[in-house]
Amino acid sequence: LSILVVLFLFGADFKSFGFKVAVFHTLNSLTVSLPIALLLAFLSSLLTKSEAYKPRFLPENFLFLALLALLLAPLAEELVYRGVLEGYLLKSTSTWVAIALPAALFALQHITPFSSAPRKVLVLVVVNALVLGILAGYYRAAGQSIMPAITVHATFNLAGIVVEKVCA
Which tens digits make up the pLDDT trace of 24-33?
999 999 999 9
Say what the pTM is.
0.91
Q: Which helix (H) or strand (E) holds 20?
A: none
Q: What is the mean pLDDT of each run of 10 residues along the chain (168 residues)?
A: 61 71 94 98 92 83 94 94 93 97 98 93 97 98 96 98 88
pLDDT tens string 91-125: 999 999 999 999 999 999 999 999 999 999 999 99
Looking at residue 93, the DSSP 8-state letter turns out to be S
Give dist(CA 37, CA 153) in Å, integer. Answer: 9
pLDDT of residue 18: 81
- List, as own/partner pairs, every contact residues 76-80 make where C-beta atoms lie below 8 angstroms and the sequence separation is at least 24, other chains included: 76/2, 76/3, 77/106, 77/153, 78/136, 78/140, 78/146, 78/149, 78/150, 78/153, 79/2, 79/3, 79/6, 79/17, 79/146, 80/2, 80/6
Q: CA of 38: how far to CAs of 44, 128, 133, in Å?
A: 10, 11, 16
Helices and strands, number each (H, E), in the chain: 8, 0
User: Domain-by-domain residue ranges, the chain?
Assistant: 22-49+57-167
pLDDT of residue 149: 98
